[in-house]
Structure 1
């Protein structure tokens, strides 16, 4: 069996396994090893195949994986993804795969992948090309956490050549994806051109590099241990970063803190030195009220007072207007903000608020804050700036941009935030002249 004794015991401790199964030689050999291991230990194995739909034989490969799992009595799951070929195919495919893994994986189940020693070396060179520090150069770990679930890589210290020889000896069939030979992709260029020449000259290069990777990993863990007391003081309960002390720190120390804070916020792609410099110079050290931000993937880095926030990026809604004509139907809000529902009888089980019922000719609509606009508040003859109210309530600008505002004609009746409704002006508490409005958030 290719899986070594130490790894066998680790797998036994996990017991519930979700195998990322492409049908290639690595994952197929891993599948056979897991099935053999199941004869010794009470493992529950599921295999998930993700069809990227990038090749004309994609469906045939899915069928191959299905039949293989059926023969081995392994529960088979398959999902389709579609990728924009004009963008970074590798990165987009990876993101979509892990989104699916997060949805499929069960409690107490571990995702097992067939990453091997050769791929570990490729990853090292890719991070080296990007100018990464110890964290990046420590490459992949045998066990790691992504998206709140564990990933286990039992083949990480096993070379591709060992896996190939095992497959030939055991007469195992697998899929050959021709795209693995396409050297326009950086990983394939390393795999097919660069690393074979290095290994041909220095046969022990992979094993030695694996030791270097382990050293980088140990250095990174030591740094984390030493900096942990500082990080505990600076990272707040709402995941923001208290930045006032950073002004007195040296550049290397503050860069480490910012990098770890971004990682703490579940952003899994390490910021480059260039990005760290932008965050420091253009966000943290910004002294005007322009409220600058920088977008990294699906997140945005922004500053509010003496704190830095890493928040989910949403498009600005200041030009959106949602007319609410049919009050029998809920009004679905953009950016997954939730929905508004009118209840004609009070339900104590829900968080609801009395709100003045519109008159027959009044147009009811939702819009979102535009910082340059002033509004007529209910029962007011003068326009006022709502930002002054929010500023006094310490609501950051990016939250203001996503707060739904309820209007009757031109008058602002209420703002909706965190399932609570703030009403502007007085309302008559007479049931027939009032609605019970319910704001249900989705995220």
Structure 2
């Protein structure tokens, strides 16, 4: 007997290569046994990954149990550790850490398989209802979804917890019981252990009817998306910004839906609340001064530049950051994942290099990010210019300017590395031996 339904089995067959998120709990253990059974029917290649959260004194024993089960079933086992120092939002933080690991481990031809079940689908619905979500949030968990550029498949999503438990008992499968699952200070556990059992006891078919409602919300969301898609195609630019001028002519419902869909397009998976949408509209989009308005949502910031809205990853301010380059033999690693800078003492034709003069013995080499107010002759121009004015003419938004590395010798700007703007102080000598060749490798 296999719990995974036949129509779901065909999806697994299409992917063949599976990375199973394996906690050792009853759901993922039963799923592991089902996948191994299916391996006899389909040419599946299964790897299991166990992530030790180190939140319980028995966590290492649980890892050993998972390893033992995988060895017994001839499944390749991977384990990783994460350490959580936070006291608040532990669940959310742990989830983010897990998905960061999944992204590093998963292969291009693999699909991540998780053991989410029907009960968790119902829990997710009520958590979304508590937050005041619309059709998108109430449409629940998808059987297949793309997160962080890889696919996630949930073959147990229409199977109840009771069915999984009965299967495990019948097949005499052992699993781990994590005592933290009983802690009702967490909202999901409160729903799982207190609220939903009472509802199912009163209305035995409650989960099935709720799943039907979730499906209806999902269909509504897809319909709304199809209707608004032609407008989104027109408004979303190649750089993923949103052209906002037409929004002034739409009603608030249409406008909010477009902004939500645009944020989702930028791969931010937590939708803004109605209150936050109002702030984005009133304080960012409708802001008419030059105060550089912005709104932070999670790890992202919504910002406006001219008639465009940008959803960008939040990075710390670099205005006071100075990176002294002491060891020139090693690449200089830039903060905020901006890349690295390498010096070549000869011309390398395979790379796009910036040619500048060598520093003198008494010159200190360093990188700054704050804009210089001094005027320079850039790239042999006839007139001195302020670098901010050049950036403005190049239509570079203010927040991007703040992340552009500027290379200095002592207090003199030598070169702006992003756009290869060389000042008169960095101009090269005719003799190649007195020159440096700088390679700026962006976002390595």
- Does the pair score TM above 0.5? yes
- Matched-pair contact (CA < 8 Å) for 2:375–2:387: no
Distance 1:172 1:207 in 2: 26
C-alpha distance in structure 2 between counterparts of 1:333 and 1:4, whole Å: 50
Q: Distance in 2 between matches of 1:363 and 1:108?
A: 48
Counterpart contact for 2:376–2:386, Cα < 8 Å = no
Per-residue deviation at 1:144? 1.2
> Aligned to 1:212, what secondary structure does the other structure show?
helix
Please give the TM-score of this superposition, normalised by the length of structure 1.
Answer: 0.96
Rounded to whole Å, the distance in 2 between the matches of 1:429 and 1:441 is: 28
CA distance in 2, matches of 1:301, 1:44: 42
Structure 2: tracts of 5 or more residues without a match: none
> Is the Cα–Cα contact under 8 Å of residues 378 and 413 in structure 1 kept in the other structure?
no
Q: Which moved more, 1:319-328 or 1:284-293?
A: 319-328
**Distance in 2 between the 1:293 and 1:42 partners?**
51
Question: In 2, are the aligned partners of 1:16 and 1:110 still within 8 Å (CA)?
Answer: yes
Q: 1:313 to 1:85 in 2, by over 3 A?
A: closer
Cα deviations by residue, 1:92-128 (Å, 9 ceiling, x for unpaired): 1111111111111112211111111100000000000
Shift of 1:376: 5.3
Contact 2:48 2:75 in 1 (8 A): yes
In structure 1, the residue matched to 2:239 is 238
What residue in structure 2 maps to residue 344 of structure 1? 345
Q: Does the 8 Å CA contact 1:374/1:384 hold for their aligned counterparts?
A: no
* In structure 2, C-alpha distance between the alignment counterparts of 1:10 and 1:360, rounded to whole Å: 65
| Residue 329 (structure 2) aligns with | 328
For residues 303 and 65 of structure 2, the distance between their equivalents in structure 1, rounded to whole angstroms, comes to 48
Alignment of 1:282-321 (within 5 A): 282-321=283-322
Contact 2:21 2:28 in 1 (8 A): yes
1:162-212: CA deviation from partner (whole Å, max 9, x where unpaired): 111111111111000000000000000000111111111111111000000
Q: Distance in 2 between matches of 1:304 and 1:43?
A: 49
**Any residues of structure 2 matched to 1:10-159 within 5 Å, and which?**
10-159=11-160
SS at match of 1:278: helix
**Is 1:269 the counterpart of 2:287 in the alignment?**
no
Pair 1:424 & 2:423 matched? yes
Off by >4 Å, runs of 4+ in structure 1: none
Q: What is the rounded CA distance, in whole Å, between the counterparts of 1:10 and 1:306 in structure 2?
A: 43
User: Bigger shift: 61-70 or 105-114?
Assistant: 105-114
In 1: Cα distance, 2:414 partner to 2:25 partner: 60
CA contact (8 A) 2:375 2:386 kept: no
User: For residue 374 of structure 2, what is the aligned residue in structure 1?
Assistant: 375
Q: Can you list the C-alpha shifts for 1:218-273, whole angstroms capped at 9, x where unaligned?
A: 00000011111000000011111000000110011011111001100111111111
What TM-score does the superposition give when structure 2 sets the normalisation length?
A: 0.95
The CA distance in 2 between the partners of 1:72 and 1:358, in whole Å, is 63
Q: How many residues align?
A: 438
